[in-house]
Structure 1
Amino acid sequence: MRLTMDQVIRYQTEGCLIVDEVLSAADLQPVIEELNEVIDQRARQMLAEGRLKELHETEPFERRLALLQEQCPDIGKGMDIADYLGDAIFALLGHDKLLDVVECLLGSEISCNPIQHVRAKLPWKSKTGDPQPSYFENVPWHQDCAVTTEDSEASEIITFWMPLVDARAETGCMEIMPEVFKRGYMTHQASGGTTIVPEQLPDVQPVLAECRKGSLVIMNKYTPHRGISNVSDIIRWSIDLRYHKTGANSGRSYQPSFVVRSAKNPDLVLRNSSEWRKLWQESRNAPQPSKVHRV
């Protein structure tokens, strides 16, 4: 799938775009199976340690982790892309269907940015009577550029967010402020999660970014967005990736970017997941910066 000219113009005008059904259920199934395997391995280890009493083996992907976490809150920790570095998620980073869309906005020299996540937004159940979920259950208003370093200000880094289940208001989809990206970077604070400082938050009516499984929400790095509460009875699984033009500063120079498409030098494309894992291991073993991003 390639974007139409109208879609490109809409993205350039609004700083966001929803593209329906870029990836099929079959395209996403290997990633889901890989996540299921990670969850199952953790559950069995915790059962052996006496930290779980029930494996919930027959529960579907959309429910199992939530049921396991009710028994052991730690089971979901360390499940990000850079933590488990699976073959299926690596294949997704360079999937041709996804890169065809990326190319329409960035051109044919594309690198995968190291800022990449898989998120399981669990159904929110207040245990304290608080009217709102915590930061980790409900990401506050922010711009993605806030978690990059200042030396990437000139880089065009684009976010590609895709749900692994239908993302609706009920399941906690995102809210977005269209056109606000034109104002550039807004000051953020770390209190309560990385978020735009209240006095700079625009008085703009946000829009719901509802979309079906396998669809894409594409955002400019300056587009304010947030997550809303998942009040359904399933987990809102999603993946957010970032891409930039090869040679541009990634905003995370201490972590590995890699070429996923190149018309000029196709031999530079990284196709080996073992090499990808090696890059991440080397980055972890290297000295870490005292400040990882601007906030």
Structure 2
Amino acid sequence: MRLTLEQLIRYQTEGYLIVPNVFTDEDLRPVIDELSAELDARAGQLLAEGKLTELYEDEPFEKRYTRLYEQSKEICRGFDINGYLGEAIFRFMGNEGLLDLVECLLGTELSCNPIQHIRAKHPAKSTQSEPDYFQNVPWHQDCAVTSPDSEASEIITFWLPLVDATAETGCMEIMPHVFKQGYINHRSEGGTTIVPEKLPAVTPVLAECKKGGLVIMNKYTPHRGISNRSDIIRWSIDLRYHKTGAPSGRSIHPSFPVRSAYDPASVLTDVTEWRKMWREVKEEKGKSLHRV
């Protein structure tokens, strides 16, 4: 799949684009199976430690994590891409269909940005004791968690749900056109958020996206996550890409080439090497990873 001229113009005009039907169930199944296996392993360990009393093995992918989380919040510790370092998610970051779309915006020399996440937004009724930002992610720009040296880098967000992301399950809201203003001051308050008095007076749009679809966002596009009012988990993957050789905005973490017309041998395909890169990372003590 390639982006059409109309889609490219819309992205360049509004600062975001929702593309349906990018991925098949077969594309997403290995990642979902891997997440399920990781949950199973974590649950088994916590059960052995006496921190769980029920494994909920018959619950579906869309509900099991919440059942386990309600028993022990430890189930979520380090449960992210750079925490469990699964092969399926590594392969997915080089998915050809995904990279075809990335190439439409960034060209042929592509690197996977080190800011990458698996997100699981539990139903609101299961997180009532948590801070509000667990459900209502505040308004922010993705560039706010990158270092200033990457100001000139075109780092684009590619966000995809593993279940239908709707107003009920807690999709994103986006401010169109605002990316043209560039970086807006942020502060750390229940997560990184745009300074309230700087928040643009723009009517947001609801960025609903079905499973298999993709939300593409400019790094200056303000967006937020709304509450999950359903009874399922809103699973999603948050990936970012930039041109190989450009500052990643997180130089202390590993980015890696995923496509190259000029030097195909540079593309990282060895999951063991990728894991080694992350495991060797030692974050500088006290170094802020947010630009506020």
Q: TM-score range by the shorter chain?
A: over 0.9
What TM-score, normalized to structure 1?
Answer: 0.96
Distance 1:134 1:119 in 2: 16
What TM-score, normalized to structure 2?
Answer: 0.97
Of 238, 241, 249, the match for 1:240: 238
Of 263, 273, 276, the match for 2:271: 273
| Deviation for aligned residue 1:168 | 0.5
Q: Deviations over 1:1-45 (max 9, x none)?
A: 100011011000000000001111110000000000110011111
Task: Identify the range of structure 1 (98-107 vs 121-130) with the bigger mean alpha-carbon deviation.
Answer: 121-130
Is the alpha carbon distance of 1:166 and 1:128 closer, same or farther for their aligned partners in structure 2, counting shifts above 3 Å? closer
Q: Could you say which residue in structure 2 is the equivalent of 1:293?
A: 290
Q: Unpaired runs of 5+ in structure 2?
A: none
* Structure 2 residue matching 1:118: 3-state secondary structure: strand
Q: How many residues are aligned here? A: 292
Q: Deviations over 1:158-206 (max 9, x none)?
A: 0000000000000000000010000000000001210000000011110
* Structure 1 residue matching 2:38: 3-state secondary structure: helix
Q: Could you say which residue in structure 1 is the equivalent of 2:197?
A: 199
Task: Report the residue type matching 1:293 in the other structure.
Answer: H
Q: Could you say which residue in structure 2 is the equivalent of 1:69?
A: 69
Q: Could you say which residue in structure 1 is the equivalent of 2:7?
A: 7
Is 1:117 matched up with 2:78? no
Distance 2:259 2:102 in 1: 10
Distance 1:243 1:126 in 2: 33
Question: What percentage of aligned pairs have identical amino acids?
Answer: 67
Q: Could you say which residue in structure 1 is the equivalent of 2:164?
A: 166
| Deviation for aligned residue 1:97 | 0.5
CA contact (8 A) 1:254 1:288 kept: no
Distance 1:149 1:32 in 2: 32
Distance 2:259 2:129 in 1: 49
Q: Could you say which residue in structure 1 is the equivalent of 2:212?
A: 214
Is 1:52 matched up with 2:49? no
CA contact (8 A) 1:150 1:293 kept: no
Q: Could you say which residue in structure 1 is the equivalent of 2:80?
A: 80
Task: Identify the range of structure 1 (13-22 vs 71-80) with the bigger mean alpha-carbon deviation.
Answer: 71-80
Q: Unpaired runs of 5+ in structure 1?
A: none
Aligned-pair Cα RMSD in Å: 1.4
CA contact (8 A) 2:127 2:134 kept: no
Q: Could you say which residue in structure 1 is the equivalent of 2:143?
A: 145
Task: Report the residue type matching 2:132 in the other structure.
Answer: S
Task: Report the residue type matching 2:8 in the other structure.
Answer: V
Distance 1:127 1:276 in 2: 34
CA contact (8 A) 1:149 1:293 kept: yes
Q: Deviations over 1:43-69 (max 9, x none)?
A: 111111111111000100000000111
* Structure 2 residue matching 1:172: 3-state secondary structure: coil
CA contact (8 A) 2:66 2:126 kept: no
Q: Could you say which residue in structure 1 is the equivalent of 2:27?
A: 27
* Structure 1 residue matching 2:173: 3-state secondary structure: strand
| Deviation for aligned residue 1:138 | 2.3
Task: Report the residue type matching 1:258 in the other structure.
Answer: F
| Deviation for aligned residue 1:127 | 6.9
Is the alpha carbon distance of 1:128 and 1:163 closer, same or farther for their aligned partners in structure 2, counting shifts above 3 Å? closer
* Structure 1 residue matching 2:159: 3-state secondary structure: strand
Task: Report the residue type matching 1:221 in the other structure.
Answer: K
Task: Report the residue type matching 1:225 in the other structure.
Answer: H
Is the alpha carbon distance of 1:5 and 1:246 closer, same or farther for their aligned partners in structure 2, counting shifts above 3 Å? same
CA contact (8 A) 1:254 1:289 kept: no
